[in-house]
Amino acid sequence: MAASMAAVRGIRGATVKYLLHKSKTACVHPRRWLNLQEYQSKKLMQDCGVAVQRFFVADTASEALEAAKRLKAKEIVLKAQILAGGRGKGVFNSGLKGGVHLTKDPSVVAELANQMLGFNLTTKQTPKEGVKVKTVMVAEALDISRETYFAILMDRSCNGPVMVGSPQGGMDIEEVAATSPELIFKEVIDIFEGVRDDQALRMAANLGFKGPLEGQAADQIKKLYDLFLKVDATQVEVNPLGETPEGQVGIFLPHTGKLVCFDAKINFDDNAEFRQKDIFALDDMSESDPVETEAAKYDLKYIGLDGNIACFVNGAGLAMATCDIIDLHGGKPANFLDLGGGVKESQVYQAFKLLTADPKVEAILVNIFGGIVNCAIIANGITKACRELELKVPLVVRLEGTNVQEAKRILSESGLPITSANDLDDAAQKAVASIAKK
């Protein structure tokens, strides 16, 4: 189970899944391949009428200083722009502590930006070496008196979108879900009706907004749902949704405020790329695993793991089951690779090319259950890859389904050292044993 859970974590969406699970709603497993920086998400919200604090983006310290002066704000917040969470508690290899800083002096912004830009920021969600910061966001900082949590996401158990909220927001929402699940509120959204006025008002009340603030919060909730639909999102998460001392509602970083959107996370449906080309063009691939990026070029879903048995499977569920059964027999999967349904021989070749390039890989397990997948196409791709790449690690193949007899004939007559398996259990045992013999 450890192996497949690692794969699921790689598929992302952990925070809201956790909330739903803790509040006794079936968890979901959204795939998220598009990654946007915080300032890009804020711009999308701004375009949908969600109020955001004033901000500028800078690539150099001089640009950051100029942005701070242009804001003419009483207080300024400077944020390093990377795709990992926990930036406020992160550490730079320049020695600077924290990827989020507040100041009332614009000149300090340049000094801080000098210690951020070009340096690696390490947080609890980054690799050990951290991630290089190439951009900073310079924004107006405002006061906040109370923080709440709000999100909209797709939930399989409800056959559509669900609103999730809590009157206790901020950085410790996971702890709230674990210790006080009664403070997590949900509203199922009818996909034909959208968010009704009574639902938005009820959620606003559950979040603790009173009087005129209840209406303000309900209005922001409805606009966030409009954004959710417009960009084909699988999740829109804002934390915290706050209240200022002046009695306004917005989405804030602690100690900032007004009617603004801050620290929002948007997850997109990668299947909607064909109609969201402008948004997908914003994708910053520089922080992505280069192998994942290369795999995506060929419509392969790849997530690297720590083991030494490479997995080549069609279907996410079967891929996780394959990881699990390898682990059950004492082996460790080297990756999660989902070939998908519309298989081409060239994809098989490219998948093998990716797998064999990993120095950790000591064996490859192919596990194909052919429904819409033609097993003969897989077999031809395998034989071509083995010959052209001069495969040097043991290869175990389990094929079942459409045109499987022809596929088995292709493999058996290839003359290649391919070990056939009768079922998934047999395949996993043989893959683990092939490494033990070396």
Active-site residue, from 63, 140, 187, 237:
237
Q: Residue 153 contacts by C-beta under 8 Å, 6 or more apart in sequence?
A: 13, 16, 20, 28, 30, 161, 162, 164, 234, 235, 236, 237, 267
Amino acid at 424: L
Q: Biggest alpha carbon distance in the chain?
A: 78
Does the annotation count 237 as an active-site position? yes
Q: What's phi and psi for 94, nearest 5 deg?
A: -80, -10
Taking the C-alpha atoms of residue 394 and residue 434, their distance in angstroms, rounded to an integer, is: 6
> 411: which strand partners?
none
Per DSSP (E only), the strands in 275-362 are 301-304, 309-313, 335-338
DSSP of 16-29: HHHHHHHTTS----
CA atoms within 13 A on the CB side of 265: 21
With 0-12 CB in 10 A as exposed, 13-18 as middle and 19+ as buried, what is 205?
A: middle
Provide the strand spans (E) within 120-225: 120-122, 131-132, 136-140, 146-155, 160-166, 185-188
Token readout for 413 is 């007559």
**Bridge partner residues of 97 (DSSP):** 91
Three-state DSSP at 251 gives: strand
149 noted as active-site residue: yes
263: left (phi over 0), alpha (psi -120 to 50) or beta: left
- Cα atoms found within 13 Å of the Cα of residue 291, Cβ hemisphere only: 17
- Collapse the DSSP code of 228 into the 3-class scheme (helix H, G, I; strand E, B; otherwise coil) and give the result: helix
Number of H helices, E strands in the chain: 15, 19
Q: Which amino acid is at 106?
A: P
358: Cβ contacts below 8 Å, ≥ 6 apart: 291, 304, 310, 334, 335
Q: Are 161 and 124 in contact (CB under 8 A)?
A: no
Which of 39, 149, 225, 349 does the annotation list as catalytic?
A: 149
Supply the residues annotated as catalytic. Answer: 149, 237
